[in-house]
Chains A and B, each alone.
Chain A
Amino acid sequence: MTYLANEVIGLTSVRRALDFGELMREHRAMVFSVAWHFLHDRELAEETAQDVFLSLHTHLAGIETSAHAGFWLRKVAVQRSIDAARKRSRRPQVALEDVAEPSVRPAAGDPMLGGMLRRLIATLPETPRMAMILRYQEDLDPTEIAETMGIPLGTVKSHIQRSLALLRGKLERRGVGER
């Protein structure tokens, strides 16, 4: 096969890999979940996720692979979610004190515990909240989180450690823990 033919096939496969619809299907759960866990507001999260994909459509020519798109989308989703929270210009909708005391105390593995944890995460300040989402939703290590958020590695590590200690303390005070 000639060099030119190989080039054409190569370009075609790249073009196919970067189909906007496919990228949306592949990455929409990640983008929406970053916004949803951070904003704790389904409607605002949907709008933010849509904005992120509209931005991807504008920048599609500069995106090389699907993995590149995923990295780019995560970074933009983080930034847009922070911007949306600032525009909303109020503290997280749930205050830590307002997280209801469950009538039946959930234990590890209980689906009720998941809802409680999400509400507790929503009460954390901006930076530690996003660091926790990237750590436990996206399974990123602290170095990747620092790169995505554009903050020092030490800051990420201390935010995660302090947030975990805070959550553990809150849960223990509510009598929630490992059975």
Chain B
Amino acid sequence: MDWLEQELAKALARKEPAAGFDGRVRARLHRRPRWLAIAATILVMMGAGGEAAWRQHRGQLAKEQVMTAMRIAGSKLNRVQMQLKGTEQ
């Protein structure tokens, strides 16, 4: 190493960060779970919302099936009544 390299090694020697560095890192570490909790809550809420929408969709389907069944039954009844009227005449 010549004089310049020796001076560079001295000039670029490691330095400690300002006092309390470890505490500041730990403070940021402890702030993290709050965000995780918020993200988890949002996911649960989205899940709950999705479940409600799925239930509503299934209810709508069931309602449509009942209405279709009633329409079929109604038309059958109509046909039977017409046939009955025809035999009476």
Chain A residues with a Cβ under 8 A of chain B: 21, 24-25, 28-30, 32-33, 36-37, 42, 45-46, 49-50, 53-54, 57, 108-109, 113-115, 117-118, 121, 132-133, 136-137, 139, 164, 167-168, 171, 177-178
Contact = CB atoms under 8 A, between A and B. Distances in A.
20 contacts: A25-B22, A29-B17, A33-B12, A33-B13, A36-B15, A37-B12, A42-B18, A50-B21, A53-B25, A54-B28, A109-B7, A114-B11, A115-B11, A132-B8, A133-B12, A136-B5, A137-B14, A164-B5, A171-B4, A177-B3
Contacts of B7: 108-109, 113-114, 117
* Chain B interface residue bracket vs A: 20 to 34
A120 to B, nearest CB: 9
B25 A50 contact: yes
Contacts of A42: 18
Contacts of A57: 29
Nearest to B1: A136
Interface of B: 3-18, 21-22, 24-25, 28-29, 32
A24 B6 CA distance: 28
Nearest to A30: B14
A110 B31 CA distance: 44
Contacts of B11: 113-115, 117-118, 121, 136
Contacts of B28: 50, 54
Contact of B24 (A50, A132, A136, A164): A50
